[in-house]
């Protein structure tokens, strides 16, 4: 069954190095927590960034993690007043035996504030 797995992280500055490192960290953590060891199981990945991140595409980091054959798409989030700045989000579509309630969504750094309901499962 294809399941959606969400994740988000933050960077302190809009630099290529920070965006790529944070995205790679996020992807590795999502894959590890959901026991995705075969990237053939990843159908696609959709990345968004807050409008203040323009230094590079997060998909570049995904290719570096091994997502070379996975369809990747990047977009900018809508600019909502008061929203957390400098965030990178991802939605992975993964073929997994996990039930939707068993999937581990991953929120790192300041992005933990987006889903306080996940508590220590983050």
Into how many domains does the chain fold?
Answer: 1
122 domain-assigned: no
Per-residue model confidence as pLDDT tens for the chain (122 residues) = 999 999 999 999 999 999 999 999 999 999 999 999 999 999 999 999 999 999 999 999 999 999 999 999 999 999 999 999 999 999 999 999 999 899 999 999 999 988 877 755 44
Cα separation, 122 vs 104, whole angstroms:
8
Does any domain span residue 66? yes
Q: Tell me whether residue 121 is in a domain.
A: no
What CATH number is given to the structural domain containing 48?
Answer: 3.30.1330.40
Looking at the domain assignment, is residue 15 inside a domain? yes
* Block residue for tokens 């323009």: 54
What are the residues whose beta carbons fall under 8 Å from the beta carbon of 102, sequence distance 6 or more? Answer: none
Which amino acids are annotated catalytic? 6, 63, 74, 77, 89, 107, 115
Residues in the annotated binding site for prephenate: 6, 89, 107
Give this prediction's pTM: 0.92
């Amino acid at each position: 069954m294809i399941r959606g797995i969400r994740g988000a992280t933050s960077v302190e500055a809009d630099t290529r190095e920070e965006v790529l490192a944070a995205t790679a960290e996020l992807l590795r953590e999502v894959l590890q927590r959901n026991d995705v060891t075969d990237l053939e199981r990843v159908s696609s990945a959709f990345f968004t960034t807050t409008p203040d991140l323009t230094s590079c595409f997060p998909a570049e980091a995904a290719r570096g993690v091994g997502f070379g054959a996975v369809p990747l798409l990047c977009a900018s989030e809508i600019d909502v007043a008061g929203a957390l700045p400098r965030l990178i989000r991802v939605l992975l579509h993964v073929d997994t035996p996990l039930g939707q309630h068993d999937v581990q969504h991953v929120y790192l750094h300041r992005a933990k504030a987006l889903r306080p309901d996940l508590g220590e499962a983050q």
